[in-house]
């Protein structure tokens, strides 16, 4: 019964969570001998580039004061803080 409640309360997986799952699956396949090192290398290389792009976007948002895109972070927009107001502009 507890497992069903946990499943009902789970939010949809973010892209980051899905990529983590793919990486863990690839490690298991490599250990089991059901994939090649070249295949695992290609998958981890692509995932690493994706994670790096997320890091760059977060750094740009931090520097510019913008709010990161919610789809990148895997959170709902309501969970994000209000973006800072630009200097020299008055509130709404």
DSSP 26-43: HHHHHHHTSS-HHHHHHH
What pLDDT, on a 0 to 100 scale, did the predictor assign at position 58?
85
Residues in the chain: 92
> Cα(first)–Cα(last) distance of the chain, in Å?
49
Question: Is 23 inside any structural domain?
Answer: yes
Q: Is residue 51 part of a domain?
A: yes
CB atoms within 10 A of CB 45: 10
- Report the C-alpha gap between 58 and 69 in whole angstroms: 9
32 domain residue, yes or no? yes
In-domain check, residue 26: yes
Interatomic CA distance for residues 80 and 73, integer angstroms: 10
Overall number of domains in the chain? 1
Which pTM value belongs to this model? 0.57
The confidence band for 42, taking pLDDT boundaries of 50, 70 and 90, is very high
Give me the domain span that covers residue 25.
12-73
């Amino acid at each position: 019964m507890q497992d069903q409640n946990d499943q009902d309360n789970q939010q949809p997986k973010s892209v980051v969570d899905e990529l983590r799952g793919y990486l863990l699956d690839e490690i298991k396949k490599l250990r089991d001998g059901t994939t090649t090192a070249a295949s695992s290398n290609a998958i981890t290389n692509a995932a690493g580039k994706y994670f790096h792009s997320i890091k760059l976007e977060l750094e740009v948002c931090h520097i510019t004061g913008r709010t990161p895109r919610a789809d990148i972070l895997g959170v709902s927009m309501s969970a994000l803080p209000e973006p800072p107001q630009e200097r020299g502009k008055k509130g709404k």
